Chains A and B, each alone.
Chain A
Amino acid sequence: MNNKFTKMSILDGLKNKWVDIANPVFAVVLALIMGGLIVLVSGDNPLKAYYVLAEGAFGSLGGIINTIRFTIPIIFLAYSFSLCSRCGYFNISQESQLYSASIAMVVVSELTTGWNPYLRIVLIVVSACVCAAIACVIPAIIKFKLDVSEVVVGIMLNYLMALVTQHLLSTTSLGNPVSSMLVSQKINETVTPTTIFLIGILVVVSYWFLINKTVPGYQLGTIGKNPLFAKASGMPSLKVLLTSSLVAGALTGLVACGEILGYFHVLIENYATNMGFNGMTSALIGAQGPIGMVLGAILLGALKSGSVLLTVLTNTPSEIVDCVQGFVMFFATVAIFKKTNFGKNKKLKGAQK
Chain B
Amino acid sequence: MSITTLLSVSIRFLGPILLVAMGGLIADRVNMFNLALEGFMLISAFAAVVGTHYTQNVWAGVFFGVLASVVLIVIYAIFIFELKVEPIICGIAIITTTGGLTRYLLIPIFGVSGRFILSSNLSIPVIESSWLEKIPFIGQILNSQSILVYIALITPFVIWFVLYKTNLGLNMRAVGLNEEAAASAGIKVNRIQYGALIANGILCGLGGAQLALALNMFNVGMTDGRGFTAIAAIALASGRPILTALACLLFSISESLVVALSGTGVSTYLLGSIPYVLALLAAISPQLVKKILWAYKRGVSQNNVIKAYYEDKESKGQISVN
**Residues of the A chain whose Cβ atoms lie less than 8 Å from the Cβ of B33:** 149
Interface string of A140-155 (1 = CB under 8 A from B): 0010011111011101
- Complex contact A317–B107 (CB within 8 A): yes
- Complex contact B288–A146 (CB within 8 A): yes
**Given A155-B228, A317-B104, also A146-B291 (CB < 8 A):** yes
Q: Tell me if A160 is interfacial: C-beta within 8 Å of chain B.
A: yes
Range of interface residues on A (Cβ < 8 Å): 35 or more
- Complex contact A166–B280 (CB within 8 A): no
**Residues of the A chain whose Cβ atoms lie less than 8 Å from the Cβ of B105:** 38, 42, 323
- Complex contact B83–A323 (CB within 8 A): no
Q: Tell me if A171 is interfacial: C-beta within 8 Å of chain B.
A: yes
Per DSSP, chain A at the interface is: helix
**Given A148-B287, A156-B232, also A327-B97 (CB < 8 A):** yes
Residue among B79, B83, B89, B98 making CB contact with A284, cutoff 8 Å: B89
The closest CB in chain A to the CB of B269 belongs to A167
Cross-chain pairs A/B with CB under 8 angstroms, 14 sampled: A146-B287, A153-B283, A156-B225, A156-B276, A156-B279, A166-B269, A167-B269, A319-B100, A320-B104, A322-B99, A327-B100, A333-B85, A333-B86, A336-B83
Q: Tell me if A330 is interfacial: C-beta within 8 Å of chain B.
A: yes
Top 4 A-B pairs, shortest CB-CB distance:
A42-B108, A326-B97, A322-B100, A326-B100
What is the minimal beta-carbon distance from A263 to any residue of chain B, in angstroms?
Answer: 23
Q: Tell me if A77 is interfacial: C-beta within 8 Å of chain B.
A: no
**Residues of the A chain whose Cβ atoms lie less than 8 Å from the Cβ of B127:** none
**Residues of the A chain whose Cβ atoms lie less than 8 Å from the Cβ of B88:** 90, 151
Binding site for B on A (CB under 8 A): 38, 42-44, 90, 92, 142, 145-149, 151-153, 155-157, 159-160, 163-164, 166-167, 170-171, 274, 277, 280-281, 284, 317, 319-327, 329-330, 332-334, 336, 339
Residue among A146, A321, A327, A330 making CB contact with B284, cutoff 8 Å: A146
- Complex contact A325–B100 (CB within 8 A): yes
- Complex contact A163–B276 (CB within 8 A): yes
- Complex contact A152–B235 (CB within 8 A): yes
What is the minimal beta-carbon distance from B198 to any residue of chain A, in angstroms?
Answer: 20
- Complex contact B270–A167 (CB within 8 A): yes
What is the minimal beta-carbon distance from A217 to any residue of chain B, in angstroms?
Answer: 22
- A163 vs B88: C-alpha distance in the bound complex, in angstroms? 25
The closest CB in chain B to the CB of A273 belongs to B221
Q: Tell me if B267 is interfacial: C-beta within 8 Å of chain A.
A: yes
- Complex contact B276–A43 (CB within 8 A): no
- Complex contact A334–B100 (CB within 8 A): no
What is the minimal beta-carbon distance from A348 to any residue of chain B, in angstroms?
Answer: 17
- A44 vs B104: C-alpha distance in the bound complex, in angstroms? 13
**Given A148-B284, A153-B280, also A323-B86 (CB < 8 A):** no
**Residues of the B chain whose Cβ atoms lie less than 8 Å from the Cβ of A149:** 33, 35, 231, 235, 283
- Complex contact A163–B269 (CB within 8 A): yes
